[in-house]
Amino acid sequence: MIVCIDPGHGGSDPGAVGKVPFRLQEKDVTLAVSLFLHDELLQLGHTVILTRKQDRTLSLSARAAFANRFNADLFVSIHANAAASVTPEGMEVFHFPGSARGQFMASRILDRMLEAFPGHKNRGVKEANFAVLRLSRMPAVLVELEFLTHPEQLRFLADEANQRRLANAIAGGIHPGF
C-alpha cells in the first residue's frame, strides 16, 4: 500500500503553539511523529511518501496534490490540537464526510492510539470538510494526537518515546490496510 504521510504545518506556519510549561510548536511535533511513522510503515512493507521531510511551508492544496500525483492509497495528516482553554485534552481522528474507507481507517487508527495510551481521552472519530481531506482523491484521515495547550499533554507530546509510541500505534491502525 502507498501511504502519504503529511506532517501538518511547517515553515512559516507553526500551527498550534503550546506555552505551558514550555514552548512547543505543532509543526515540530508533527514532523517528529511523521518521521517515526515513515520508518514504522517501511518496516511493515508499505511504500511511504512524505509531503515534507524538514521544516518547510506547503499549502494545503499542494499537500493533497502531492498524494494525488503519486496515486497514494491512503493520506494521513498528522496534527496536534489546541484550544483557548488549558483543560481540553484527548485524541481524535477526522475523515471526509461520506468516506466509508476513510471512516474505517480513522476508527482503526484511533483504536490503536487509545490502546497504546489508555489514560487518554477518546474524543472520537469525526467527519470534517478539511481541505486536505476534501482535495485528496484517496481515503484520507487527519489525526489529532493530543492538545498542545494542555500542560500535561504538551509534556506528553514533547517526549520522544511517546512520539515513537504514537507512530507505532498509528502504523498499527494503518497496517495491513483496507
- In 3D space, the residue among 42, 18, 8 whose CA is nearest the CA of residue 152 turns out to be 18
User: Helices 151-158 and 160-174, interaxial angle, to 10°?
Assistant: 80
Q: Which residues pair with 93 in a beta bridge?
A: 125, 143
Strand partners, 47: 2
Q: Is 115 a catalytic residue?
A: no
Query: Which residue do the cell numbers 507505532 mark?
Result: 168
Q: List CB contacts of 45: < 8 A, sequence separation 6 or more.
A: none
Which of 40, 89, 92, 144 is an active site residue?
144
Active site residues: 144
